[in-house]
Structure 1
């Protein structure tokens, strides 16, 4: 899919494709929320998949503009809102929440730059993941589900346990080995020192975690 994407907006790549494939095989539901929408590609996929209402949120004003343009160009009914995670949709409920948050482990020093926000997940990669695990479950309708993508380097079991603690049924439903891109290659030595990857390892396992409200 050709997308309008200005500098500073996350470029859809392997992680986006894995989550989009999982979304296509899931029941889309009537109301879908795409958190951290970037270009809007996942929101567009949900709209094309038959969702009655799609809302996309992003904390980056440039991403909000980008997603709006991409929805307009395709004449798809996606509402794009500037929001820090769920702030703008507090109190609403959704059948599906989909999220591909920043999850790259940073070194705390070299994250400066206009585009750092699209990948920087904090020292352990969980800065946004933990906020999602805490805030997403109350927004799920009965029978609703969260589809959350992350790297195995950020602790899959930690995410599973935090979602289960909110009385959700949780499973890893998709997994793919992805070669390091430029950002991860630049941090490979740091990841080796932390014991997160082996010597010369230049790939990571990406997973999609599904959490369903009973």
Structure 2
């Protein structure tokens, strides 16, 4: 399918944008409206469930459902219902701008997506389009947005910005310098249209990776680089492809990232990466970064299987079952030839100045992470790198979101229990604990300082504080890094 022209959309005035935005708020076309559609046959690919979504939304009398059907799920609505949802004047404006088109039967459809996202509305191209289609917010965008710092950075760079989602979110939250860059000129133009639609000021520049911002530095760099493996002789959406394996573009982006970070800046990225035996992602990132003075952390959970990856990313732009069957086989053969048997779904965090560590942390789910959890972990890593005296004077506690339990296979209390920690949110993973670890965690949780925990643990062990000091410090450093412990900055050394 050919991309819809955007020249008329560029004519949207600020006053018209204000009126359209006010109407979208009035009829509650927000993420709750999308949630109604997402609740129908969840987990299935859109090609399978969209007919049911269309049917359910068309039977709902709410104006927001008509707008969701039209702008989120590529359905058709009658002109009468469209005018009721947007008002006749705004409906006429949408037709004039090319945001919607009329069919021979008088109904309207949209060649664009118009998605609500965290208080914004983002115009983008449908993912079924090929070529230079521009991506807007999706499920992974929400995952990454949850990880943004609670304190709004002064300057934010959105690399591969697509429709401008993260740069606009930063501007909406008060960043003084919100910049988006994309190699696709269409993306830059749509991002500028979205800035006007949302009444925000942001800068959008066309160019490859960091070339448009050469010489500038930022507090936060954020990106969702393309990460789908590019199979030979497969025509699919190029805006998804990250190279032969899928992670080459992301590695190139990350390697260049330190040069645009301020000394206290951070980079935050989301991608799916093939699991390569003997070459875990955090070490591939370290190799790509060379001797750049940054720390690398990867928070990962199992990604899609190669079979689902093949199905999901070849079905997007193919209309015939016969064509799909041939293409999905070629894609799957490509992954098999590369030896790819699994993928990881990962958040990558770069922290300068550093060079202290490269670490990979498996997490229960990326949905268990948020900006507070990431900030807490960064504080914990900071403390773990300090000298022994600072660590001994610090107040350390089990991280929020953990549940500790003694488990027995029988109610008989004479049976030795198994000690477990279960992670409900945050960086730590659920695990079994030794009796010694349980006792040490109890000492840490009840003492004002790590030094106090050393004294308590030494008494439990029948040893001197000097005898157990290094053991306790090693335990604290390890579990600060793994997210089981957190630095309580308001405590003794905070």
TM class, shorter-length:
0.7 to 0.9
Q: Which residue is equivalent to 1:49?
A: 173
- Under a length normalisation based on structure 1, what TM-score does the superposition of the two structures give? 0.84
Distance in 1, matches of 2:139 and 2:195, equals: 21
TM-superposed deviation, 1:131: 2.0
- Residues 108-187 of structure 1: pairs in structure 2 closer than 5 A: 108-110=232-234, 112=235, 115-116=237-238, 118-153=239-274, 156-157=281-282, 158-163=284-289, 165-173=291-299, 175=301, 177=303, 180=309, 182-183=312-313, 186=328, 187=331
String of CA shifts for 1:96-139, please: whole Å, max 9, x gaps.
011111111112332x46x31x1111112233223212221011
The structure where helix makes up a greater share of residues is 2
Distance in 1, matches of 2:157 and 2:344, equals: 25
TM-superposed deviation, 1:50: 2.3
Cα-Cα RMSD: 2.4
Distance in 2, matches of 1:94 and 1:153, equals: 29
Of 156, 174, 183, 1:32 maps to 156
Distance in 2, matches of 1:168 and 1:103, equals: 23
- Answer yes or no: is 1:196 the counterpart of 2:340: yes
TM-superposed deviation, 1:164: 6.6
Q: Which residue is equivalent to 1:201?
A: none
CA contact 1:28–1:96 (8 Å) conserved in 2: no
- Select the structure with the greater relative contact order (CA < 8 A; seq sep ≥ 6): 1
Larger radius of gyration: 2
- Answer yes or no: is 1:88 the counterpart of 2:212: yes
TM-superposed deviation, 1:77: 1.3
TM-superposed deviation, 1:31: 0.8
TM-superposed deviation, 1:12: 2.6
Distance in 1, matches of 2:211 and 2:136, equals: 24
CA contact 1:163–1:211 (8 Å) conserved in 2: no
- Answer yes or no: is 1:206 the counterpart of 2:345: yes
TM-superposed deviation, 1:15: 2.2
Q: 1:66 to 1:19 in 2, by over 3 A?
A: same
CA contact 1:57–1:83 (8 Å) conserved in 2: yes
TM-superposed deviation, 1:14: 2.5
The structure where strand makes up a greater share of residues is 1
SS in 2 for 1:130: helix
Distance in 2, matches of 1:97 and 1:176, equals: 25
CA contact 1:15–1:206 (8 Å) conserved in 2: no
Distance in 1, matches of 2:300 and 2:152, equals: 17
- Under a length normalisation based on structure 2, what TM-score does the superposition of the two structures give? 0.38
TM-superposed deviation, 1:65: 1.2
**Where does the alignment leave 5 or more consecutive residues of structure 1 unmatched?**
199-203
SS in 1 for 2:334: helix
Q: 1:165 to 1:27 in 2, by over 3 A?
A: farther
Distance in 1, matches of 2:337 and 2:227, equals: 18
